[in-house]
């Protein structure tokens, strides 16, 4: 049996007839939906008819409000951003200035340290000169000592001084040099020399006055008290601007050394006049 034959037979399927009375039952059971009266349709609430337009309008209004708020916030943020950028630029400038100040402070500190080191160096040089002078005097002093011991031998045989006779404590001033020659110098700049003074006694040395004989010479801040066995400095500044040729200036030092209460210091120089130094 082929497809056509099968389809032919299938299309001939008998239709069972409905039972009697079904038609009447179906007609009785008709329940048609009540159509809405036209007047009711016309009297739909106003808001319902306008609801789509109103809702769209509200949505649009909401969007506009949101847009306005966002724009305002955006403008405010931009203003804040500009202010912050300006503040950042100020901070950068302050940082630069701070760095410059720090470098200046470091340079000043270096300068102070250099000055201190320079003064210390001058002091040490003076001490070295003093020690060299003392070392040169040492053979003479030894000979003097031996001579004095020889002279004192008969005295040693004499009876000892009575108890209660106190040994006196005195300071003894000693300079590294009492004469300083600057040599050949120009008259353009002031000349400075530091005299080193030592106390070789056993009492504190009080240097009460350092008095130059000429207004061209000034004394710097000297050590007014020198402990026993220690040394101090007396800076002397000489202004050669008004001189030409060899000169010699005297500075008088007054102290409490009973043997040498006044010590004269001599400064010498051979001054050359420089033409451009003239005003």
Partner 1 sequence: MSDAASTLCELAQAGDREAAGELVSLFYERLYAWLRRLAGSEEDAADLTQKTFARAWAALGSWEGRSSFSTWLHGIGHHVYVDWRRAQPPAAVPLDEWWAHCPDDAPDPFQTAAERDLAERLFAHVERLDEDTRQTVHLHYYQGLSLAETADVLGVATSTVKYRLRQALDFLKTRFAEPKAPVR
Smallest distance, partner 1 to C-beta of residue 34, A: 7
H-only helix segments in 11-45: 22-28, 38-42
What are the structure tokens assigned to 115, written together?
A: 């000055």
Smallest distance, partner 1 to C-beta of residue 2, A: 8
What residues does 248 pair with on adjacent strands?
Answer: 268
Per CB under 8 A, the segment of 29-37, 135-143, 154-162, 177-185 that binds partner 1 is 29-37
Per CB under 8 A, the segment of 11-19, 72-80, 189-197, 202-210 that binds partner 1 is 11-19
Tell me 146's DSSP state: H
Query: What's the burial of 207, exposed, middle or buried (CB within 10 Å: 0-12/13-18/19+)?
Result: buried
C-beta closer to partner 1: residue 35 or 139: 35
The span from the CA of 244 to the CA of 274, in Å, is: 10
Residue 9 as a binder of partner 1 (CB under 8 A): the answer is yes
Per CB under 8 A, the segment of 18-26, 103-111, 196-204, 210-218 that binds partner 1 is 18-26
C-beta closer to partner 1: residue 7 or 93: 7
* DSSP conformation letters of 163-221: TT-PPPP---EEES-SEEEEEEEESSS-EEEEEEEEE-SSS-EEEEEEEESSTTEEE--
Residue 29 as a binder of partner 1 (CB under 8 A): the answer is yes
Residue 148 as a binder of partner 1 (CB under 8 A): the answer is no
Smallest distance, partner 1 to C-beta of residue 50, A: 25
By the criterion CB under 8 A, which residues form the site for partner 1?
1-3, 6-7, 9-19, 22-23, 25-27, 29-35
């Amino acid at each position: 049996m082929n497809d056509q034959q099968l389809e032919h037979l299938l299309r001939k399927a008998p239709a069972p007839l409905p039972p009697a009375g079904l038609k009447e039952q179906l007609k009785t059971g008709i329940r048609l939906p009540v159509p809405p009266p036209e007047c009711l349709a016309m009297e739909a609430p106003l808001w319902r008819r306008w609801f789509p337009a109103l809702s769209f309008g509200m949505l649009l209004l909401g969007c506009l409000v949101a847009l306005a708020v966002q724009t305002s916030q955006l403008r405010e943020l931009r203003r804040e951003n500009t202010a912050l950028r300006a503040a950042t630029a100020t901070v950068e400038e302050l940082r630069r200035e701070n760095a410059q100040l720090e470098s200046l402070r470091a340079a000043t500190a270096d300068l102070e340290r250099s000055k201190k080191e320079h003064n210390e160096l001058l002091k040490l040089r003076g001490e070295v000169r003093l020690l060299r002078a003392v070392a040169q005097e040492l053979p003479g002093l030894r000979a003097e000592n031996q001579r004095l011991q020889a002279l004192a031998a008969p005295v040693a045989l004499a009876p000892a001084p009575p108890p209660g006779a106190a040994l006196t404590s005195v300071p003894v001033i000693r300079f590294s040099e009492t004469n300083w020659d600057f040599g050949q110098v120009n008259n353009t700049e002031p000349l400075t020399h530091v005299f080193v003074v030592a106390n070789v006694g056993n009492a504190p040395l009080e240097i009460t006055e350092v008095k130059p004989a000429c207004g061209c010479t000034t004394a710097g801040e000297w050590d007014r008290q020198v402990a026993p066995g220690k040394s101090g400095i007396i800076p002397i500044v000489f202004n050669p601007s008004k001189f030409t040729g060899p000169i010699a200036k005297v500075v008088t030092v007054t102290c409490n050394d009973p043997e040498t209460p006044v010590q004269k210091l001599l400064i010498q120089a051979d001054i050359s006049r420089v033409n451009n130094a003239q005003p």
